[in-house]
């Protein structure tokens, strides 16, 4: 083999190596962009989870308040037994009876 043929083979091999390196750089650059997007989405997901935790706490608090209000409503709906000397939970004052010297309405 002549020197020119050897140099040509070496040049072709080096050209293939350089082309492969450029291809590798392009793939790594693309992978970097994908990883950056992934990191951004993970950060957004963390914020969403934190917001969801706050929302869950608010819903639980509102559920407790609603349950207490519902229990009060049920208690108000239950019939109340009248007091022995009254007409119920709210009673009017008793009228005085007729006076011994006075007669009732005619």
67 lies in a domain?
yes
| Residue 64 in domain | yes
Does residue 24 fall inside a structural domain?
A: no
What confidence score (pLDDT) does residue 59 get? 93
Give the domain range for residue 53: 45-76
Considering the domain boundaries, does residue 95 fall inside one? no
**Residue 106 or residue 65, greater confidence:** 65
Question: Is residue 13 included in any domain, yes or no?
Answer: no
Where b means 16+ CB within 10 Å and e means fewer, 10-19 reads eeeeeeeeee
Is residue 53 assigned to a domain?
A: yes
Average the pLDDT over 64-81 and give the result. 85
- What is this structure's pTM? 0.45
CA atoms of 106 and 102, how far apart (whole Å): 11
Domains identified in the chain, total number: 1
pLDDT score at 87: 53
CA distances from 91 to 2, 68, 73, 75, 80 (A): 125, 28, 22, 19, 13
């Amino acid at each position: 083999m002549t020197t020119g043929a050897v140099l040509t083979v070496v040049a072709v091999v080096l050209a293939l190596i350089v082309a492969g390196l450029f291809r590798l750089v392009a793939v790594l650059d693309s992978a970097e962009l994908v990883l950056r997007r992934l990191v951004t989405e993970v950060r957004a997901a963390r914020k969403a989870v934190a917001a969801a935790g706050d929302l869950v706490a608010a819903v639980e608090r509102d559920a407790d308040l609603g349950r207490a209000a519902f229990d009060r409503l049920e208690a108000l709906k239950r019939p109340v037994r009248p007091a022995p000397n009254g007409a119920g939970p709210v009673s009017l004052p008793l009228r005085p009876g007729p006076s011994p010297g006075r007669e009732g309405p005619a």
